[in-house]
């Protein structure tokens, strides 16, 4: 049964590879036509832009093909590995010992198939939407925008990361704390509706609830921005929302408007998702070494946060206790 599951997944990978190839072929034909028109018009600047766009699209197609081929080779190896084991349960046990699965966590066939179909549908939907916006940009003759967007996608095509792979969208109503990646402190809500940092997580003041805001594409002069931006609001324990002020401060407001809407940014350089929040004033939620929470004009180390969930609190408390013990030990050594 497991072998059928893996072969099903390989079939889906082949479908995606064929679909990506066909869509990139359409894009390259369109770019070649635009390039020919630009050359006939003697527009050297536009010719260079379109040549670059075509080169980047070819590079992206190759990256996508290579990554899908890698995944299919890995799946083929899993089938061969499974054939060498006497029982299927030994395969799941091996994954459990390697830490890939939790204890006694053996997916059912139906769950596996549903998850696969959902993931591939999401990837295809994301890819198709991206292509629609690129063609819309070409229709509007916004060639600089298309090149910028293709360049951004190319930059994101790191080794082992598919350019067509979507991030899992934020879950509406999800509750979490925000922990500074730089200081290890939490953003906490104060009684007067302002915000500060705390080392000790307080469930009454440190949890925030995310509300996903769907973009109104008609309000965007840049259609690709509506696709790429993920906008959220952060509800506090008071039932109000974190709001940005033009002066760079943070406060609470009763309802969601522009000042309460944040563009969510990602950074997963360490294989752990870090998040930043950009306000309508083009500033970022930030912390400093004096315990303050405010908006910064640039995004650096102090503007990145980890989401903190209830099952993480025990490990974080232990980490903080060890840090304090070490600080106390060093203080005593210094006194001696």
* pLDDT 10s digits, 162-206: 333 445 567 788 899 999 989 989 999 998 889 999 988 888 899
The first and second tokens of residue 208, run together, are 């925030």
Asked if 179 and 194 touch (Cβ cutoff 8 Å), the reply is no
**Nearest residue to 20 via CA among 169, 167, 159, 153:** 153
Q: In Å, how far from its chain's centre is CA 3?
A: 31
pTM over 0.75: no
Per-residue model confidence (pLDDT) at position 121: 67
What end-to-end distance do the CA atoms of the chain give, in Å?
67
Q: In Å, how far from its chain's centre is CA 162?
A: 13
Q: How far is CA 44 from CA 140, 146, 220, in A?
A: 19, 17, 29
Radius of gyration of the chain (CA): 25
Q: What is the DSSP secondary structure assignment for residue 292, as one 8-state letter?
A: B
Per-residue model confidence (pLDDT) at position 161: 39
The CA-CA-CA angle for residues 18, 20, 26, to 5°, reads: 105
Helix (H) or strand (E) holding 124: helix 109-139
Per-residue model confidence (pLDDT) at position 103: 43
Give the residue ranges of the chain where pLDDT is below 70. Answer: 1-3, 5, 78-123, 126, 144-169, 215-229, 268-272
């Amino acid at each position: 049964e497991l072998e059928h599951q893996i072969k099903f997944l390989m079939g889906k990978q082949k479908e995606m590879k064929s679909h990506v190839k066909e869509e990139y072929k359409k894009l390259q034909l369109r770019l070649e036509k635009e390039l020919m028109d630009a050359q006939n018009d003697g527009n050297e600047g536009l010719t260079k832009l379109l040549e670059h766009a075509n080169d980047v699209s070819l590079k992206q197609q190759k990256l996508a093909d290579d990554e899908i081929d890698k995944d299919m080779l890995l799946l083929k190896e899993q089938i061969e590995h499974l054939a060498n084991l006497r029982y299927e349960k030994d395969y799941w046990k091996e994954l459990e010992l390697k830490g890939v699965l939790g204890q006694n966590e053996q997916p059912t066939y139906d769950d596996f198939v549903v998850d696969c179909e959902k993931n591939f549908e999401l990837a295809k939907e994301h890819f198709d939407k991206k292509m629609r916006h690129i063609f819309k940009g070409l229709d509007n003759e916004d060639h600089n925008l298309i090149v910028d967007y293709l360049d951004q996608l190319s930059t994101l095509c790191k080794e082992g990361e598919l350019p067509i792979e979507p991030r899992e969208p934020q879950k509406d109503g999800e509750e979490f704390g925000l922990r500074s990646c730089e200081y290890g402190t939490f953003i906490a809500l104060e009684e007067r509706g302002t915000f500060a940092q705390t080392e000790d997580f307080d469930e009454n003041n440190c949890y925030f609830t995310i509300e996903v805001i769907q973009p109104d594409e008609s309000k965007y002069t840049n259609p690709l921005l509506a696709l790429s931006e993920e906008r959220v609001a952060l509800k506090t324990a008071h039932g109000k929302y974190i709001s940005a002020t033009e002066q760079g401060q943070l406060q609470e407001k009763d309802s969601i408007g522009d000042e309460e809407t944040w563009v969510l940014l990602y950074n997963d350089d360490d294989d752990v998702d870090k998040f930043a929040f950009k306000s309508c004033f083009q500033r970022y939620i930030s912390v400093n070494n004096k315990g303050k929470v405010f908006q910064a004009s640039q995004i650096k180390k102090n503007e990145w946060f980890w989401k903190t969930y209830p099952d993480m609190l025990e490990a974080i408390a232990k980490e903080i206790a060890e840090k304090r013990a070490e600080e106390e030990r060093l203080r005593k050594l210094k006194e001696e």
